[in-house]
Structure 1
Amino acid sequence: MDDEDYKVSSELYTEFNYVTNLKPTLNKDNVVSKFPFTYPPKAAEIDSDGDLLVQRKSKANGIIEIEHSESTSLDLVGLQVWRGAFLLADWLLHNGENLPKNVPILELGSGTGLTSIVAAMYAPVICTDVDKGEILNLIKTNITRNKNITKYPVKVTEIDFTKDSLNPEVETILRQIQIVLAADVVYDDQLTQSFVKTMELILSYPHSRTIYIALEKRFVFTIADCDTVAPCYEYFLECINKLRSVTITEIRLDFPQYFQYDRVKELVLWKISNNK
């Protein structure tokens, strides 16, 4: 069976009822989902007399609307929403106030654009993916849907992991970028190899930068191993451990959860920084 014939659906859709009656803008076969979240409490403020200002409301509620596919072939899974995007979005909400101000954030393999939308609450964003299956137009559509959430501009452009170079638009701004994001980009060994190659290229440019990667280990039982293993994830670890002049750290997932999803034990968050 070809990849084009085999359909997959995100586990998210069975966890909660996100789907609405809103009409899709880009593709009539898509659906529009609402993903609720809470804003983290603001940092304590001090008035001019040095007194602590009492926060009347520690949290606020928000909703992100995302147009997406309900099922796709394996090569177009970016048209769906996956758990890793929410994990990375939670991390952004928890750390947003400490992110460098007015410094662009780059997202790789942005999919539906959900994580980039959250990032744009705190900084300008360069939101990228491969130009396939109308995915760049889908991102633009979702950014427009959520103008009430974003505070900074989001630029949508292509990065194709299979290419040996970045597009000139990204190269021009790369020196300014300190933080790079990626979620749910490991599900095929060939793509993983291309993704790690792209990471290596980005980390090779002058100046220090850090890549945060949210993934979900996907376990399968194999007769050869007589065990349940996560081959795509293991191959990803094998690839990143070959990177030179980088520091690799697994981030503890003890930060708060702001989005509504199952934060399963298979989710992981990695931090890879160049040593410059």
Structure 2
Amino acid sequence: MEDDDEINRFSNLLTDEDNKPNAFSTEQNDSPNHELLQKHFLRSIQSTVTIRLLPSEGLSFQLWPAATSLVALLDSHRINPTNSPLSTVFATGAPMRILELGSGTGIVGIVAAATLGSDVTLTDLPHVVPNLKFNAKANAGVVGSSGGNVTFAPLRWGDAADVEVIGREFDVIVASDVVYHDHLYEPLIETLRLLLVGKKTVFVMAHMKRWKKECVFFKKARKHFCIDVLHVDAPCNGSRVGVVVYRFVGKG
């Protein structure tokens, strides 16, 4: 269907306050898995985060637009928290415990740890965890210098046992580009329900709309959560829509 045409997921790059790309570079290694090392300069801490991508391994090993948008917001929040769209979520003062769902390369959680000085747990499917571990260790120096810490664990959506293993005592949960396959809507909502309902925990989700059917996810999610919009990126590089950052709070 025409309305369901896929939007180019590489259309959004990190942008600064003047809407110019942040300094970043990509290096390709001559390795069997054709890994890419992408470097992202964070103005707020004057440091560079290096992320290993493994495009040949699948979607979880690539960088998606909503992740880069959330990284840019975290960087800007560190510089000027008062005027940040994230100011109602990330409190100043005491370090926060943050959980990232569907971490993929782990860039959002790693940047959150570095810019907020927070304790962040990266999670994804078991086969993705080794790359999360690689990226967490590669950036341990940058994260540690800001007082942050990054750990990692497998978390299969909809699996209550996995949730019990990582615990439920998080202040904020973050995710980016996790609403894409409709068979994952219910498992994702169930995991969020286990983590949010009856708690003060807030879920921040950056999302770029690609399919008309995604409205089904939001319709189902609103049965359990109050959802509002924190930020909307302007469309760029030929996209029809920009990345939207949502806040979910559990009902009851």
TMscore range, shorter length = 0.7 to 0.9
Q: Give distance in 2, aligned partners of 1:125 and 1:36.
A: 20
Residue in structure 2 matched with residue 147 of structure 1 by the alignment:
140
> Which of 137, 161, 170 lines up with 2:130 in the alignment?
137
Percent identity between the two aligned chains: 21
Alignment partner of 1:20: what SS? strand
Could you tell me how far 1:263 is from its partner in structure 2? 10
Alignment partner of 1:181: what SS? strand
Q: Check if 1:267 corresponds to 2:240.
A: no
Contact 1:130–1:136 under 8 Å retained in 2: yes
Residue in structure 2 matched with residue 30 of structure 1 by the alignment:
35
RMSD: 3.0
Q: Check if 1:69 corresponds to 2:54.
A: yes
Residue in structure 2 matched with residue 200 of structure 1 by the alignment:
193
Q: What number of residue pairs does the alignment pair up?
A: 219
Contact 1:83–1:263 under 8 Å retained in 2: no
Q: Give distance in 2, aligned partners of 1:232 and 1:89.
A: 27
Alignment partner of 1:272: what SS? strand
> Which of 116, 130, 136 lines up with 2:109 in the alignment?
116
Deviations 1:30-65 (A, max 9, x none): 2212223422xxxxxxxxxxxxxxxxxxxx643221
Contact 1:12–1:81 under 8 Å retained in 2: no
The normalised TM-score by structure 1 is 0.69
Deviations 1:80-111 (A, max 9, x none): 11011112222323334663422311111111
Deviations 1:142-196 (A, max 9, x none): 112212321311110011014244343312xx23x11110111111101122111
> Which of 216, 226, 231 lines up with 2:212 in the alignment?
231
Superposed, which structure 2 residues align to 1:78-227 within 5 Å?
Answer: 78-96=60-78, 99-100=90-91, 101-121=94-114, 122=116, 123-132=118-127, 135-151=128-144, 152-171=148-167, 174-175=168-169, 177-204=170-197, 206-218=198-210
Q: Which runs of 5+ in 1 are unaligned?
A: 1-8, 40-59, 219-229, 256-260
Which of the pair has more CA radius of gyration? Answer: 1
Contact 2:109–2:120 under 8 Å retained in 1: yes
Q: Give distance in 2, aligned partners of 1:92 and 1:212.
A: 12
Contact 1:249–1:270 under 8 Å retained in 2: yes
